[in-house]
Amino acid sequence: PAHGLHPCPSVRSWPVAGSSEEPRADSMLSHQLRKRQLEAFRQGDVAKQQEEGEQPPPRKLARRVPLAVGRPASNALRVRESALFRPVRAIGSVVDELPLAPATLGEADFVVASVRRGFQVFECKHLRLAYIGPRLNEKIRAVMTVGEVVLTSLKTDIVAWHKLIELGRFRGHTGPANVLCTVGAGYLVSASGSEVLVWQLSDVGLEAKEPKKGQKKTTCVLSPLGKLSMDAEFGECTATCHPPTYLHKVLLASSTGQLALWNVRSQEKVHAFRSHLAGRKESCAITCISEVPNVLDLIAIGFADGRIVMLNAREDRVVMEFQQAQGRVTAMSFRTGAGAPAHLVTGAPNGSFVVWDLDKRRAHHVAEGAHHGPISTVHFLPDQPLLLTSGRDNAIRMWIFDTPDGLPRPIRHRCGCPGPARRMSFYGGSDDRELIVGGGTDGAGFVSRISFIQDHQNVDYSQAALKKMPSHLKSMQPAHNMARLPPLIDIAYCPVRHHDWPAVVSAHEGLDAAFVWSAENKALAPKAMRPEGDKDCAPVTAVAISSDGNYCVLGLANGSLHRFNLQSQLHRGPIPRAQIPRASDIEAGLVKADSSPPPKAHQGRVCGVEISVSGLVISLASHPRDCVLRTWKLMTHEPAFSVPLHTSGAGQPSGVLLRMHGALVAAPLDNGALLVVDLNGASVVRSFSCGVPATDVAFSSDGRWLAAALRDGGLRVFDLLAARCVDSFVFARPALSLCFSPSGAFLLTSHAKGNAIQVWANKFLFDPSLSAPLLRPEPKAPIKVDEPGADGEDDDAVPAEAEEGASDDEEEGKKPAPSTSTVPLEPSLLTLSDVPPAKWMATLHLDVVRERNKAAEPPKPLPNAPFFLPTALDGLTPRFAAPLGAEEGAGDNSAPAEGQSKHLRDETSVAKGFKFQNLIRKNKYDEALAFLRAQTPSGVHLAIEELGPMAGGTMDELKAGVELFEHHLRKAHLADEVQAYLSIFLQAHGEELMGDPETRVKCQDLGRALEGQWSALNRQCQKVRCFLGMLTHTQSQW
């Protein structure tokens, strides 16, 4: 191999070791000279650092984490949040379309998987999560590992992470770097299109300069060492590889099929390969490249047309060549280990991988359908018969080659949503444990179970039962994909019958039957529900299941409704039923014996169906002439009542979808209106204007909030009780589906072109410093937030005011204090104080607190003073010596020290009075209350007990005390503290107040004021209780 040597340009083969060529000798001498100079320079730096008392930085990048701890938080971690919700994490996402980045630490193997705006690390022994990386505000374009450090390529920067800490970043690209490769432990090569840059990897995590005292550390930002100048014919760099023993060399492959060897240290081209292009008329892009383990100079190259070439890089000669019939070579990996067969595995765009036998030079096995969609990664674990594969179906699968014929079999996998979730809901509805999710991707549908707790519990429901379907159902399957159903449109379930029979029903695009799934077996049941007769058949557009799990109602595209028995899948007739002619009319010839077809429930496509607990079927159509919410009796199929959905706008709107919560039904229309119907009153009770149609709506578990996802990417949250919008934000990609968790703590959204389900936390449940949502003004403009995985153009667009506020908060080092007001919102309301209840309760029950804190044993006498304390003799009596300077100026006319007690300063005169007495006498009631609030519990009791004749005062002080509480009762503020102080005041001076006729009258007036204030508040509470009782009654049907 070429150890730092440059081949002669006129010779195609590599220089032979031991030749006596003059250029080779010169290069060897110059190489040795540069090596000695570099070693002397490094030794001088180390000696200088030792003289200055500095330690050289650790060579291992992961050990440089303490240097980065004091730096400010990374800009990549800044996320946006709305008025109500804060982004927390993404669930249902295992890996995106980027290849896995393997890493070996000791005897343990790990892989890093990119999840668009974050990454997560799996340990390969059990394929469990080791840790989850930080949530970023940009999409990851490439990922690789260097030991324990993870390199992520963002929009223009390459950021180095050690778990959640940013070590540094490489800045210099004009676009996103899609290809990363390390050359030894010192260099990093990155490519963005035709722009290839070289970086000093060993400098990451180091400080540019030591900050001055009082200044914060700055982020480590590295500039490129140089740029590799590519020819115009080279095209874009698509793959890189560092061949073993090739010092400072890297192979660069292009989109035009060219392959070149570069020296990253000198930034010069060493050699351009031509043998792999011999005999090819048209150039084909190189998609992947890999070194052959345990064989020097041998490189494997994969092309977009399926060609696989084994190239001897030393001789520029093709050793062997294969042709993959499945098309493009997406990834490749070699099996290693003692006694392991010479196998090469390559990935294909149809989800298959091919095992090649290099000894026999032919295909050994083709694993069909390993993934749904292109395979992005195939990787053999070092010296193990284990193969890891990942694809665009959001799954990582592990295969083992342990069969006698050397064929692989799956042993474990981790999967998420194969595509965007169109419908999702918490299964069971009692806790935040798991969701049932349905959607479609690449023309195929799926139903999955996504765990809200642990990602390794995610399951994709099997569709193997499609092979057992009746023949008329098989004919409905698309010819190109007989193994999977079409994308899902609607889904319904009933957890009550989870163990009795399959109780999950789904509707799919273009199919006139609804399919049944078993949540217990996590698979499709070999049964389907289809209306009898070809005339009644039409694509199923909506499904609903009764609360007892016995019946299912299907809504069809022709406007008809049909009821089925869910256990037996028997058809129970259309809704409404066909009218059977009477026998007398048939005999009279008025009607024919074969009655006319049953009337359809709606004129157009049924866009939503729901079944209430009371046995009402609620349906809505998407036809402009039938914009009416209709209800039917479930058992008799008779119409119950109808609610016209009229809006004030011009034109005739039509329905979009239907969602129900208890007796409340949300019906979005195509003109942007969102109507809420009360089934008990059979009327529209709320109407909101969204401007654009909604893609999905969801009620919170308590029925207070209604969230609507809009087609323009917006999401609005409405408070039904207040009839106003409380939050509005917009995504870079529209939300397809959303739902609230049963606890109300989280809002979940799924988005187009993404497999992840974003989790948003309710800030008002997790941050007690925030005020109530209704106390905030209605949002005037939506807040721009981006969900993880959104590739928005304005990822870094942060308002200037927000940046200034953030910088101010960083300088102060603390959060701004929340603004609170003690002024009542209404005259008939009370406002509590802003202190913890424990403070005024301790003041009120001071005796109980003292009894509880009483010492178990009497205090022990202090030990004798140690001998080394300074002492002096006062005559014959020894005493401790005063501190130095204490005796100076200690005359009779000196001012008393501030630390002396009031008795030593002669401030106990009753005539002069205490501070609280003086404030009471001067009728400064606000200052008096402020004085009490600033005291300790013992201080409050002492200040109140210092009033009146028993403490040396007069009855006027007690009269002023009663007027103090009358004053603050009229202001209706700080109600809890005022009541506690009043209770203490009455306990201390009750007998004195009752003994004086004038104060007795004042106490009666104070009692009437208290009773009137409580009566007004009680009246308001009773009204609220009755209103909530009505809503609770309606929700109890759910």
**Each residue of 529-547: pLDDT tens digit?**
988 876 768 899 999 999 9
C-alpha 89/C-alpha 136 separation (Å) is 10
**Each residue of 304-330: pLDDT tens digit?**
999 999 999 999 999 999 999 999 999
Tell me the pLDDT band of 28, cut-offs 50, 70 and 90.
very low
> Which has the minimum average pLDDT: 415-419, 453-457, 482-486, 768-772?
768-772
Q: For residues 896 and 440, which has the higher predicted lDDT (pLDDT)?
A: 440
User: What pLDDT was estimated at residue 883?
Assistant: 56
Examine the pLDDT at 173 and tell me if it is beyond 70: yes
Examine the pLDDT at 76 and tell me if it is beyond 90: no
Examine the pLDDT at 573 and tell me if it is beyond 60: yes
- Alpha helices (H) along 888-1035: 915-921, 925-933, 937-945, 955-971, 975-995, 997-1035
Examine the pLDDT at 240 and tell me if it is beyond 50: yes
User: What pLDDT was estimated at residue 264?
Assistant: 92
Is 929 within 8 Å of 916 (Cβ atoms)? no
Tokens of 554: 């299907």
Residue matched to tokens 């001067």: 922
The helix (run of H) or strand (run of E) holding residue 313 is none
User: What pLDDT was estimated at residue 127?
Assistant: 92
C-alpha 654/C-alpha 711 separation (Å) is 16
**Each residue of 443-481: pLDDT tens digit?**
889 999 998 888 888 899 998 888 887 766 655 555 445
Examine the pLDDT at 1035 and tell me if it is beyond 60: no
User: What pLDDT was estimated at residue 872?
Assistant: 67
User: What pLDDT was estimated at residue 239?
Assistant: 94
**Residue 750 DSSP one-character state:** E
Tell me the pLDDT band of 853, cut-offs 50, 70 and 90.
confident
Is 645 within 8 Å of 629 (Cβ atoms)? yes
**Each residue of 959-976: pLDDT tens digit?**
888 888 888 888 888 888
Examine the pLDDT at 14 and tell me if it is beyond 50: no
**Each residue of 899-932: pLDDT tens digit?**
444 444 444 444 455 788 888 888 888 898 888 8
Tell me the pLDDT band of 825, cut-offs 50, 70 and 90.
low
User: What pLDDT was estimated at residue 347?
Assistant: 95
**Each residue of 381-403: pLDDT tens digit?**
999 999 999 999 899 999 999 98
Examine the pLDDT at 591 and tell me if it is beyond 60: no
Examine the pLDDT at 705 and tell me if it is beyond 90: yes
Region 512-518: mean pLDDT is 92
Residue matched to tokens 């303490």: 66
3-state helix, strand, coil in the chain (%, to 5): 20, 30, 45
Which of 1-5, 74-78, 930-934: highest mean pLDDT? 930-934
Ranges of beta strands (E only) in 647-798 are 659-661, 664-668, 673-678, 683-689, 694-699, 705-710, 714-719, 724-730, 735-740, 746-751, 757-762, 783-784
Sign of the dihedral through C-alpha 91, 94, 99, 102: positive
**Each residue of 256-298: pLDDT tens digit?**
999 999 999 999 999 999 998 887 777 899 999 999 998 889 9
Express as a percent the part of the chain with pLDDT over 70. Answer: 76
Region 329-341: mean pLDDT is 92
**Each residue of 615-661: pLDDT tens digit?**
999 999 998 888 999 999 999 999 999 999 977 666 688 899 999 99
Examine the pLDDT at 796 and tell me if it is beyond 50: no
Q: For residues 851 and 814, which has the higher predicted lDDT (pLDDT)?
A: 851
C-alpha 813/C-alpha 810 separation (Å) is 5
Is 337 within 8 Å of 383 (Cβ atoms)? yes
Is 248 within 8 Å of 269 (Cβ atoms)? no
Amino acid at 371: H
Coil, strand, or helix at residue 493? strand
Q: Calculate the CA 591 to chain-centre distance.
A: 64
Cα distances (angstroms) measured from residue 977 to each of 238, 769, 987, 1005: 71, 21, 16, 20
Coil, strand, or helix at residue 418? coil
Residues in Cβ contact with 41 at an 8 Å cutoff, skipping those fewer than 6 apart: none
C-alpha 200/C-alpha 453 separation (Å) is 41
Residues in Cβ contact with 392 at an 8 Å cutoff, skipping those fewer than 6 apart: 96, 97, 371, 373, 374, 376
C-alpha 707/C-alpha 729 separation (Å) is 11
Examine the pLDDT at 758 and tell me if it is beyond 50: yes
**Each residue of 872-884: pLDDT tens digit?**
666 556 666 665 5
Region 587-603: mean pLDDT is 69
Ranges of beta strands (E only) in 690-826 are 694-699, 705-710, 714-719, 724-730, 735-740, 746-751, 757-762, 783-784
**Each residue of 156-166: pLDDT tens digit?**
899 999 888 88
